[in-house]
Amino acid sequence: MPGIWLKNARLVGPSSIVRGDVLVRDGVIAAVARDGGGDWPADRVVDVADRYLSPGFIDIHTHGAGGFDFMDGSLEAVYGACLAHLRHGTTCLLPTTSASTRESLLEMAELFNRVEPRRTGYPEIHGLHMEGPYFASEQRGAQDARHLRNPDPEEYNQALRIGKRIVRWSFAVELEGGEEFLRTLREKGVIPSLAHSDATCQQVRQAYADGVHSLTHFYSGMSGLRRVNSYRIAGVIEAGYLLDGMYVEVIADGKHLPADLLELIYKVKGADRICLVTDSMRAAGMPPGSYKLGNIETGMDTVVEDSVAKLPDRLAFAGSVATADRLVRTMRDLAGAPLPAAVAMMSLNPARLVGLDGRKGSIAVGKDADLVVFDEGVNVHLVMARGEIVPPG
């Protein structure tokens, strides 16, 4: 059965770029021809014109885009934000919550039971990423302090019963009840991640041994080296570097982390343990101005300027306004990562972290036809989600 033939491309692999063609059929990659090119019957032929053809981007931490926040609590907001990200190359994502009331937490868990995971013309919605509300107040960042609390077994067990689509949960393991919560997540098959945490390096080492293998938005909302009774104590940041197998999320918008830190993270962690994430709020893909962080009615006020969201007093960032294409471009241009490595950080690595690498994250026969065409400036020209071509943003 004929399909779509993408020809004259520079195929971006995890470690190299080669010229070649790709045939897509029935939503999956049916054939890949390198160097010499393909010669297949097809319903449609797309000339990539020597631009880059990469696997679709996978964002495992995003709060919204296009004027929508997932905490708005409606299907319209979910699909609207997802569509805005798709136009910038994100073909799979994990919508992410923020610290909220118990009622809102449970409502979000229930809402995602009604979300279509593979809706035609939209990125795949792999599942829900719960960020909070179990965070250390000292590391809250832009999380609403009114809603921070210790893990409550009655609350999180109810959420896990209700929410059939919860796949990842970020929390501070050092809080009272944190170890029990971690055990529950592992028992339920939910991926744990450390976030907004004031833990010591030793506490993170123990959490790693117990199954925490990722740090949410590295450097942001986490402890570093400090003095306790005159002695230096390493924190979460140092643990992220010391534990070779620990994945680190990186908000590579060029604002949350300066070029020096992006370069340091890449130098120490290498290309295989970095997951680029937008951590975007509703203003991603929108003009500068005033926006709500979180629910459109009850969320926190923010101002978007200088290509980043800030709290009104300008003392802290309030989420990024980045899209995935910007992250790849920034990691290449500011951190010095080769383009294949930067793309892998936005595709194959997050796919591995959340268990999707069997069908996503690289250009290989049998994998989902999630593909992005972009130019030298990482400007998106074409996006394909499971074999369906959609217009870029």
Each residue's pLDDT expressed in tens, for the chain with a length of 393 residues: 689 999 999 999 999 999 999 999 999 999 999 886 778 989 999 999 999 999 999 999 999 999 999 999 999 999 999 999 999 999 999 999 998 899 999 999 999 999 999 999 999 999 999 999 999 988 887 788 888 999 999 999 999 999 999 999 999 999 999 999 999 999 999 999 999 999 999 999 999 999 999 999 999 999 999 999 999 999 999 999 999 999 999 999 999 999 999 999 999 999 999 999 999 999 999 999 999 998 998 888 999 999 999 999 998 888 899 999 999 999 999 999 999 999 999 999 999 999 999 999 999 999 999 999 999 999 999 999 999 998 665
Q: What is the reported pLDDT for 393?
A: 54
CB-side exposure of 203: number of CA atoms within 13 Å? 21
Residue 166 tokens, joined = 């919860």
DSSP helix/strand/coil, 21: strand
125-167 tens-digit pLDDT: 999 999 999 999 888 877 888 889 999 999 999 999 999 999 9
DSSP helix/strand/coil, 254: coil
Q: What is the reported pLDDT for 139?
A: 86
Would you give the end-to-end CA distance of the chain in angstroms? Answer: 31
Cβ atoms of 369 and 6 closer than 8 Å: no
Domain spanning 3-54+364-390: CATH superfamily: Urease, subunit C, domain 1 (2.30.40.10)
Q: What is the 3-state secondary structure (H, E, C) of 102-130?
A: HHHHHHHHHHCCCCCCCCCCCCEECCEEE
DSSP helix/strand/coil, 341: helix
> In the CATH scheme, what is the code of domain 56-353?
3.20.20.140
DSSP 137: G
Asked if the domains 3-54+364-390 and 56-353 are classified in one and the same CATH topology, the answer is no
| Residue written as token pair 């802290």 | 316
DSSP helix/strand/coil, 345: helix
Largest CA distance in the chain: 73
Give CA–CA dist 16/33, Å, rounded. Answer: 15
Residue 254 tokens, joined = 């060029």
Contacts of residue 187, Cβ cutoff 8 Å, sequence gap at least 6? none
| Residue written as token pair 């959490």 | 207
DSSP helix/strand/coil, 257: coil
Give CA–CA dist 164/250, Å, rounded. Answer: 28
CA gyration radius, the chain: 20
Residues designated as active site: 279
Residue 168 tokens, joined = 């990842």
Cβ atoms of 93 and 125 closer than 8 Å: yes
Question: Hey, which residues does 233 pair with through a beta bridge?
Answer: 226
Cβ atoms of 29 and 369 closer than 8 Å: yes
- The structure's pTM equals 0.96
Identify the CA nearest to 59 among candidates 291, 367, 294, 372: 372
Domain chopping of the chain, boundaries:
3-54+364-390, 56-353
